[in-house]
Structure 1
Amino acid sequence: MILLQTNRHPKDIKKVELGKTDVTLNEIIAVARYGAEVLFSQKYRDRVNASRAVIEKFLDEERAVYGVTTGFGSNVSQSISSMDAEKLQQNIIRSHAVSVGEPLDKEVVRAIQLLILINLGQGFSGVRLGVLELIRSVLNQQIIPFAPGEGSVGYLAPEAHMALLLMGEGKAWYNGELLKGNAALERAGLQPLSLGCKEGLALTSGTTSVTAFAALALFDGIQAAKTADIAGAIALEALKGTIKAFDPRTHSVKRHEEQARTARNIVKILGGSEIVEKYQDYRLQDALSLRCIPQVHGAVKKVLEDAKITISNEINSSSDNPILFTEDNGEALMGGNFDGTFVGIQADSMAIAMANLAKISERRIDRLVNHHVSELPPFLVANPGLNSGYMIPQYTAAGLLNEIKILSHPATVDNTSTCANQEDVVSFAYSAAKKAYQISKKLEYILAIELMSAVQALDFHQPLKPSPASHEVYKLIRIQVPTVTEDRYFYPDIESIYHQIHEGKILNSVEILISDLEW
């Protein structure tokens, strides 16, 4: 099971060794986003070598094995001689490198490469250790293969673009310069290789790109959900909300523990607030965007928790085809482990969950800037009319929310057959995971606007003091985002807070003070 260890942020993980234990979500992020070094354990090396020996045996025996001594897809009936086995693997890479559009983000490419190493290192794929060593070196030396991100139905094309580099083909960035594949390897002191039997197929098959997107989205989604508790709490405080809606007795009669934990988080974040103390009886009840924080945030967390289990299982699985077993005389079983439906459905669910979190956050932003309901100056500026204040950041949140709503439409319910109807059911998990990744970033921007607005609103409550946790967030944001007294260029302010959320600084500032928020 994945553990999100708040006391050890991924950027603090410097080395990730494969093969000893299951790989955690934080380790995926450490390599993909923060450049942690990848190592192979002896156990990893031993099982890769044992698996390769089975492939060599199959070749000697000329045994019929999909993708080894046969063609691919609907060409499965075409026999391939041992003399042509290597050519077959080169052909699959070149012919499958057909994704289009803008290249994938650096962290996505690195996450995919790491997941290829984890997948093929399970010892069921028959890939030579030297191929995996080259991928490891590419990762550790920060070489980024050029891999367009549009047009995949679940796997194959982006991975093929990455595999071109291993043969000295395609393109890659090295030290910020986009080079031909062989030149990038040469500058890093590496040599291309010729892919052997089964290797081209293994490098393009599987759920690696789907799981990479999903893992990145999951990490950011979990962090965003915890940060949303903080943003929602400060908004509640600034809007004179009543803490009584978070009484544990209310939540004890609803059988969703995530709801009760969220309510306890809000109470803990707002502990010691003079503002909350003064206004706890100010209204009989608040608007739903404040009153229903435990219910909405809690439901989102439940979805992310379910996704966490599935994605963890997928990270540490073998998603190749065929699957090779070394026991007895060796056996190759042809199946469908490359299918990404497990992760795809969870990614669709994460997208819907994060859309709900964005929805309630945007409504709190509107209440903060809307003087008709906030009892604060219009658009949170002391001299409205001459100044627009935070009028338009709410528009930005609304625009982002609209994009999120569009992206939250499930992808995995669709189907378009491929490969002459040999592959007649297609998961479209790639699209599901990719849009969950996109949504996670848009959600962080909406939360940034909420925090920016809520912190500004606290200024109008002086001399009443906010809670110590709210004050910590206030101080952190105010390092780079001063109080707004008149209109200025707000884009840098939003970006600053976005990065504080994305890097976990907002969450960390609160958890250091009041201990980890419940999940």
Structure 2
Amino acid sequence: MAVIRSERPLDWTQVAAVAAGEPLELSVDACARIAAARVLVEQIVERGIRAYGVNTGVGALCDVIVSPAEQRMLSRNILMSHAVGVGAPLGAAETRAIMAAAVNNFAHGHSGIRLDVTQQLVALLNADCVPEVPAFGSVGYLSHMAHIALVCIGEGYACYRGERLSGRDALRRLGREPLVLEAKEGLSLINGTPCVTGLAALALARAERLLDWTDMVAAMSFENLHGQMAAFDEDSLALRVSAGLSRVGERMRASLAGSGILAAVVGQRTQDPLSMRTIPHVHGAARDVLDATAGVVNRELASITDNPIVAGTPDAPRVYSQAHAVGAAIALAMDSLGTAIAQVAAMAERRLDRLVNPLVSGLPAFLAETGGTRSGFMIAQYTAASLVAQNRRLAMPASLDGGITSGLQEDHLCHATPAALKALEIIDNAARIVAIELLAAAQAYDLQSGDAPRAPHTESLWQRVRRAVPVYRDDRPLADDMRIAFRMIADEAPPPLPNPGNIGPRPAAPADGAQRVALATVMHLAAAGHFDPAVSIAVNDGQAAAHQA
């Protein structure tokens, strides 16, 4: 289904949908806003109103006047000089996300490029003709969009139907002509925060799916390790205020409902290790960060991030030279998301270690079927530990890196795009760690003693793994299984939860937190013998009153 940029800005889910291959369309009113902003630029040029990057140089050259005859050359040269990316190209999804965010920014109607320029980007997107964009070399936002814009003018390279083509040949395949850029268009094409915003939308989509999987895989490990379901008690969790924690607790109860394994071990331990009983707290905190980050990304998509911004009317055009292109907020959000996912993955590795460690698992050493000649998952845990360490290094905040560019003119840098790129890398590493835990949890089920049944939902997860890979017996490279499990987590949704939020009968809960505390207090006193066992408890307005039956 096509994603339409109308009078409302795109949100992060729509950008992620375009990144995944959905077409993008501009509504009539979006086209009208783009065209109206172009009229303002033409008036600025005609009247000789001084405007950064329109009739001046850029960066430290902002006070150098550029004549009308040189403005086309300025626009083209900006692309050439700013296309300085290095390293392997971004993936198609990453590049498409950036392009979608750029089109969204132009559709606000304050950039001043011609509609033809925007439609060139839309045509590339909808034909899935993806510009070749080196991943590295940006301290903010310039180089990635410069490489994308090169294809619009027939330069650079693009991938079309698996073939690497010059920009000119790629446009010819689509039946389009290279653009000749006019005043301000070169600057508009490379400016603003579409680069980090597009990548951030993709990071949100991948992180959301990963967190869904991580809850489910954690449930499998919890069941294999004979955890105590009291850790997920709804009344207990409600005493800590966190939407994410509450949601994860609900998901864990849904995943593990009906587990014969867990029913057989109720009360055997006072409490479980932290990597098991803090699943709602750690996963929930990450979900809270995810929600906060989504708000930042949506605000960024709703913002005009050009420098300069054109506004006013054709009779009274205005130019605002400011710093809206600096993505301080989204850089901080990407650093935060990366750290949150790194923590979730670090705890997954701890559960994995418990599964393979015979000192605590109650299972065969390293989940190998026989000892001595088979190592099972011993070294797979090394891989997970290595990825946890790599994530720890990557989680250092990019937003604090700083630096000075453009002859002291740009003397504060937020490194928003690098923050998004490393968040994406952390998410990929985390998915590999969780994939190893998934394989180990499936193997642990196969090695469990006794015949107590698994929960229906974890049973479906185990079956899904076993349809993809058989039990491991040191009979093949384990890396192949790990790759299959990673693709499962990266590309597919986990099985749907059975009736989440409504798992089995439970007593009516008090209406608010104060009432919960009061009821808990009275129940504690009753258990301690301070009330007769034959007591009925009424909780009203947060006060507990005990009445003899």
Please classify the TM superposition score into its range, dividing by the shorter chain length: over 0.9
Distance in structure 2 (CA, Å) of the matches to 1:50 and 1:499 = 46
Distance in structure 2 (CA, Å) of the matches to 1:448 and 1:336 = 42
After TM superposition, the structure 1 = structure 2 runs for residues 489-500 of structure 1, keeping only pairs within 5 Å, are: 489-500=477-488
1:23-45 CA-partner distances (Å, limit 9, x unpaired): 23222122112x11111100110
Distance in structure 2 (CA, Å) of the matches to 1:76 and 1:494 = 53
2:373 to 379, 382, 386: 386
> Structure 1: 5+ residue runs without aligned partners?
1-13
Look up the match of 2:499.
514
What percentage of aligned pairs have identical amino acids? 36
Root-mean-square deviation (CA, aligned residues, Å) is 1.6
Structure 1 length as normaliser, TM-score?
0.94
2:335 to 315, 324, 348: 348
Range with greater deviation from structure 2 (323-332 or 366-375): 323-332
Alpha-carbon shift at residue 326 of structure 1 (Å) = 3.3
2:355 to 368, 391, 405: 368
Alpha-carbon shift at residue 484 of structure 1 (Å) = 2.2
Look up the match of 1:425.
412
After TM superposition, the structure 1 = structure 2 runs for residues 127-276 of structure 1, keeping only pairs within 5 Å, are: 127-276=113-262
Q: Is the 8 A contact 2:35 2:115 kept in 1?
A: yes
Q: Which amino acid aligns with 1:124?
A: H
Alpha-carbon shift at residue 165 of structure 1 (Å) = 0.9
Alpha-carbon shift at residue 272 of structure 1 (Å) = 0.5
Look up the match of 1:411.
398
Look up the match of 2:470.
482
Change (3 A) 1:187 1:516: farther
Distance in structure 2 (CA, Å) of the matches to 1:272 and 1:22 = 45
- Secondary structure at the counterpart of residue 264 of structure 2: helix
1:46 correspondence with 2:32 = yes
1:471 correspondence with 2:459 = yes
- Secondary structure at the counterpart of residue 34 of structure 2: helix
- Secondary structure at the counterpart of residue 53 of structure 1: helix
Change (3 A) 1:92 1:190: same
Alpha-carbon shift at residue 489 of structure 1 (Å) = 2.0
Alpha-carbon shift at residue 316 of structure 1 (Å) = 2.6
Q: Is the 8 A contact 1:31 1:37 kept in 2?
A: yes
In the alignment of these two chains, the number of paired residues is 501
1:453 to 430, 434, 440: 440
Range with greater deviation from structure 2 (316-325 or 369-378): 316-325
Distance in structure 1 (CA, Å) of the matches to 2:107 and 2:212 = 34
State the 4+ residue runs in structure 1 displaced beyond 4 angstroms. 515-518
Alpha-carbon shift at residue 411 of structure 1 (Å) = 0.9
Alpha-carbon shift at residue 145 of structure 1 (Å) = 1.0
- Secondary structure at the counterpart of residue 505 of structure 1: coil
Q: Is the 8 A contact 1:265 1:517 kept in 2?
A: no
1:316 to 302, 310, 320: 302
> Structure 2: 5+ residue runs without aligned partners?
504-549
1:30-87 CA-partner distances (Å, limit 9, x unpaired): 2112x11111100110100111111111111111111111111111111111111111
Alpha-carbon shift at residue 188 of structure 1 (Å) = 2.3
Distance in structure 2 (CA, Å) of the matches to 1:329 and 1:517 = 60
Alpha-carbon shift at residue 517 of structure 1 (Å) = 11
Q: Is the 8 A contact 1:473 1:510 kept in 2?
A: no
Q: Which amino acid aligns with 1:441?
A: D
Q: Is the 8 A contact 2:75 2:186 kept in 1?
A: yes
Distance in structure 2 (CA, Å) of the matches to 1:477 and 1:510 = 15
Alpha-carbon shift at residue 267 of structure 1 (Å) = 1.2
Range with greater deviation from structure 2 (23-32 or 445-454): 23-32
- Secondary structure at the counterpart of residue 25 of structure 2: strand
Alpha-carbon shift at residue 160 of structure 1 (Å) = 0.8
Structure 2 length as normaliser, TM-score?
0.89
- Secondary structure at the counterpart of residue 17 of structure 1: strand
Alpha-carbon shift at residue 218 of structure 1 (Å) = 1.5
Q: Is the 8 A contact 1:103 1:146 kept in 2?
A: yes
Change (3 A) 1:517 1:81: farther
Q: Which amino acid aligns with 1:489?
A: P
* Structure label with greater radius of gyration: 2
Q: Is the 8 A contact 2:384 2:433 kept in 1?
A: yes
